[in-house]
Amino acid sequence: MFKFFNTVASISVTELQEKMKGTIHLLDVRTPNEYRSGHISKAKNVPLNKVDGYKGSLTEEVYVICQSGMRSKKAAKILQKKGYSVVNIRGGMSQWAGQIRGGK
């Protein structure tokens, strides 16, 4: 049996804001400099080039964000192949209107 298309689930930044009222695992796959310049407080920085080494719980959904949604989509596909349940954030930080924080 072949899987031609292994689609990744995605939600908008508005939907992410709703999800963040609870506990979620949010990975920011931008570079450390981009992350330090402003990120969502619950986000953990795991740059795209290091996503393959990510070690998290396979039983919990992982949300992935970047600047525009392209890198997070790539990261989501990598994580999905490793067995994670992944949700990509469409539009990324460029669409995020919620609070952000700088630094680590």
Angle at the Cα of 76 (from 49 to 84), degrees rounded to 5? Answer: 110
Closest listed residue to residue 34, CA positions, set 74, 94, 85: 94
Residue 58 lies in a domain: yes
Q: What is the pLDDT of residue 5?
A: 55
pTM equals 0.92
> What whole-number distance in Å separates Cα of residue 61 and Cα of residue 99?
22
Q: Give the up-direction half-sphere exposure of residue 80: CA atoms within 13 A in the CB hemisphere.
A: 17
Q: Is the pLDDT of residue 1 over 50?
A: no
pLDDT of residue 6: 67
Query: Residue 83: what pLDDT?
Result: 94
CATH of the domain at 46: 3.40.250.10
Q: What total of structural domains would you count in the chain?
A: 1
Q: What is the pLDDT of residues 2-55, one digit of tens each?
A: 444 568 899 999 999 999 999 999 999 999 999 999 999 999 999 999 999 999
